[in-house]
């Protein structure tokens, strides 16, 4: 007996299978193609030469190192700037929390290409004071990762009682520095970790600021390489992609383990979850 309800159920299942298969292919085929493309030999057969090239090409190696250094510096500066500020706001100046939140989420609505136009002038001064090392990009990258880092840390702080914890510690004679480093930070470890992960993933994929401010990082070099040696550049793309995927998947695991995350950030009006591409 096939009743209307059974038929409707079957229709729904068929719809789901079709949607998931078609879109699954759409997402997997480019990734598979990259892998195939990076090991292809024009005459036929396969080779890992282009992958070996990743470790050998001096430009590429230099760029990988630069990007890793940039990620590290960005994470450190972001944490140093954001954690004390956010804790301080919660403890002493809660009236400023809306303003801090607004500033932190502002970069989401300002396209990177717009920011770069305004940053040109600022970077003239940065170069004047600090030289023209690519590592100075750190300053701009902290701004780029700010919204994402802010959300993670905010969720972390919301899940502990900052005020009570620090009052207890202060009562025992701890200074502010001790409160932040010994009491707060250990309690929001997972949040800091996820803030760091997303920052690293974003910095490794960043192209707009680096290329238009005339610095080199991994993506800039990959892009250049694409003109001369497309197979190595695709291998490098895939490698950086896999690395970022792993980071972001670790991130989602950290997020899940934390359990009591604040719900539905996607419906947060102040914080449209715009994805930042490169």
Partner 1 sequence: MIATSTGAREGLEVRLEDLRRRFGTVTALDGLSLTLAPGELVALLGPSGCGKTTALRIVAGLDEPDSGRVVVGDRDVTDVSANKRDMGMVFQAYSLFPHMTAQQNVEFGLKLRGHDSTRRRARAGEVLDLVGLSSQKDKYAGQMSGGQQQRVALARALAIEPSVLLLDEPLSALDAKVRAQLRDEIRRVQLEVGTTTLFVTHDQEEALAIADRVGVMSQGRLEQLDAPEALYSRPGSAFVASFVGLMNRVPCEVQGGRATLLGTSVTTLDGSVHGGRGVALVRPEQVQVAAGGDDATVVHISFLGSFSRVTARLVEGTELIVQTPSATVQDLRIGDRVGLSLLADDLLVSATTD
Partner 2 sequence: MSRGVRRLVPVLGLVPFLGYLTIFLLIPTVSVVVGAFVEKDRASLSNIRALGDEVVLRTLWRSIELSAESAIIGAVLGALLAYAVVTGRPDGTLRRSVTSACGVLAQFGGVTLAFAFIATLGFSGVVTEAGRDVLGVDLFGSGWLFGLKGLTLVYTYFQIPLMVIVFLPSLDGMRSQWREAAESLGASTWQFWRYVAGPLLLPAFLGSTLLLFANAFAAYATAAALVSQGSPILPLLIRNALTSEIVLGQSHLAFALALDMIVVVVVVMTMYALLLRRTSRWLR
Q: By CB under 8 A, name the binding residues for partner 1.
A: 3-6
Q: How far is the CB of 5 from partner 1 (least distance, A)?
A: 6
Contact 233, 226 (CB under 8 A): yes
Q: In b/e form, how buried is each residue of 140-169, taking b as 16+ CB within 10 angstroms?
A: bbbbbbbbbbbbbbbbbbebeebeeebeeb
Q: Which among 199, 174, 176, 148 is positioned nearest to 90, based on CA atoms?
A: 176
Q: How far is the CB of 1 from partner 1 (least distance, A)?
A: 8
- Mark the segment that binds partner 2 (CB under 8 A) among 8-16, 62-70, 154-162, 177-185: 8-16
- Return the one option of partner 2, partner 1, none that residue 33 interacts with (CB less than 5 to 8 A, by type): partner 2
Contact 237, 144 (CB under 8 A): no
Of positions 205, 215, 258, 261, contacts partner 2 by CB under 8 A: 205
Regarding 117 and contact with partner 2 (CB under 8 A), the answer is yes
Regarding 277 and contact with partner 2 (CB under 8 A), the answer is yes
Q: Which residues contact 57 (CB under 8 A, 6 or more apart)?
A: 225, 232
To 5 degrees, how large is the angle CA 79–CA 82–CA 88? 125
- Return the one option of partner 2, partner 1, none that residue 5 interacts with (CB less than 5 to 8 A, by type): partner 1
- Return the one option of partner 1, partner 2, none that residue 40 interacts with (CB less than 5 to 8 A, by type): partner 2
Q: How far is the CB of 252 from partner 2 (least distance, A)?
A: 5
Neighbouring CB atoms inside 10 A of 230's CB total: 13
Q: How far is the CB of 158 from partner 1 (least distance, A)?
A: 25
Regarding 116 and contact with partner 2 (CB under 8 A), the answer is yes
Regarding 41 and contact with partner 2 (CB under 8 A), the answer is no
Residues 139-158 that bind partner 2 (CB under 8 A): 139-140, 142-143
Question: Which CB atom, from 32 or from 189, has the smaller least distance to partner 2?
Answer: 32
- Return the one option of partner 1, partner 2, none that residue 61 interacts with (CB less than 5 to 8 A, by type): none
Q: Which residues contact 204 (CB under 8 A, 6 or more apart)?
A: 67, 71, 218, 219, 240, 243, 244
Regarding 25 and contact with partner 2 (CB under 8 A), the answer is no
Q: Which residues contact 102 (CB under 8 A, 6 or more apart)?
A: 270
Q: How far is the CB of 88 from partner 2 (least distance, A)?
A: 4
Residues 59-98 that bind partner 2 (CB under 8 A): 81-82, 84-85, 88-89, 92-93, 96
Question: Which CB atom, from 48 or from 113, has the smaller least distance to partner 2?
Answer: 113
């Amino acid at each position: 007996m096939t009743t209307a309800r059974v038929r409707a159920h079957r229709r729904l299942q068929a719809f789901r299978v079709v949607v998931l298969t078609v879109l699954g292919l759409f997402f997997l085929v480019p990734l598979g193609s990259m892998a195939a493309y990076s090991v292809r030999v024009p005459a036929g057969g396969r080779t890992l030469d282009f992958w070996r090239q990743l470790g050998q090409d001096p430009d590429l190696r230099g760029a990988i190192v630069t990007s890793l250094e940039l990620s590290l510096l960005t994470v450190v500066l972001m944490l140093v700037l954001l954690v004390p500020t956010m804790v301080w706001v919660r403890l002493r100046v809660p009236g400023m929390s809306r303003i801090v939140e607004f500033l932190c989420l502002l970069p989401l609505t300002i396209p990177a290409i717009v920011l770069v136009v305004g940053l040109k002038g600022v970077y003239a001064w940065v170069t004047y004071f600090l030289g023209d090392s690519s590592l100075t990009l750190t300053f701009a990258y902290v701004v780029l990762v700010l919204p994402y880092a802010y959300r993670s840390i905010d969720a972390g702080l919301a899940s502990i009682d900052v005020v009570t914890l620090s009052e207890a510690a202060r009562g025992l004679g701890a200074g502010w520095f001790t409160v932040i480093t010994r009491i707060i930070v250990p309690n929001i470890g997972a949040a800091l970790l996820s803030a760091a992960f997303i920052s690293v993933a974003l910095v490794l994929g960043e192209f707009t600021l680096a290329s238009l401010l005339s610095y080199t990082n991994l993506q800039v070099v990959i892009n250049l390489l694409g003109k001369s040696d497309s197979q190595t550049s695709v291998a490098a793309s895939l490698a950086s992609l896999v690395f970022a995927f792993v980071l972001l998947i670790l991130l989602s695991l950290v997020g899940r383990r934390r359990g009591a995350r604040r719900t539905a950030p996607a419906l947060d009006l102040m914080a449209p979850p715009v994805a930042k591409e490169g």
